[in-house]
C-alpha cells in the first residue's frame, strides 16, 4: 500500500470507532471530531449489538488509519 498524506478531513476527525474482525482485521465504523461524540455512538452500538467488540481509537495527524493498517504505538485505544 502506498502511504498517503493525511487530508484536511483526516485531521478534523481524529477519533475513530473501529469494529474488530477475525484474523486481526478491523473496520472503521465512524470518525468523529470529538471524543464525547465517539463515546455516545459507541454506547448506542453496544445497545444494538452487545456481542460485537468496538474500540475508540485516537489517530494523530501523522498516521493514517485505514482498513489494511496495523495499529502503531502512537495510537491510543480507549475502552469505554
pTM: 0.65
Q: Is residue 22 part of a domain?
A: yes
Question: How many Cα neighbours within 13 Å face the side chain of 8?
Answer: 0
Report if residue 1 sits inside a domain: no
- Rounded Cα distance between 5 and 19, Å, is 24
Asked if the structure places residue 2 within a domain, the reply is: no
Q: How many domains does the chain divide into? A: 1
59, part of any domain? yes
User: Is 34 inside a domain boundary?
Assistant: yes
What does the pLDDT look like over 4-63, one tens digit per residue? 676 777 677 889 999 999 988 889 999 999 999 999 999 999 999 999 999 999 887 555
Residue-number span of the structural domain to which 32 is assigned: 8-78
User: pLDDT band at residue 74, thresholds of 50, 70 and 90?
Assistant: very low
52 falls within a domain: yes
Indicate whether 41 belongs to any domain.
yes
Separation CA 62–CA 24 (nearest Å): 23
Amino acid at each position: 500500500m502506498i502511504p498517503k498524506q493525511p487530508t484536511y478531513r483526516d485531521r478534523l476527525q481524529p477519533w475513530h470507532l473501529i469494529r474488530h474482525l477475525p484474523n486481526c482485521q478491523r473496520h472503521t465504523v465512524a470518525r468523529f471530531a470529538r471524543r464525547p461524540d465517539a463515546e455516545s455512538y459507541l454506547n448506542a452500538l453496544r445497545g444494538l449489538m452487545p456481542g460485537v467488540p468496538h474500540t475508540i481509537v485516537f489517530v494523530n495527524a501523522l498516521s493514517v488509519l485505514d482498513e489494511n493498517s496495523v495499529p502503531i504505538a502512537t495510537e491510543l485505544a480507549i475502552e469505554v
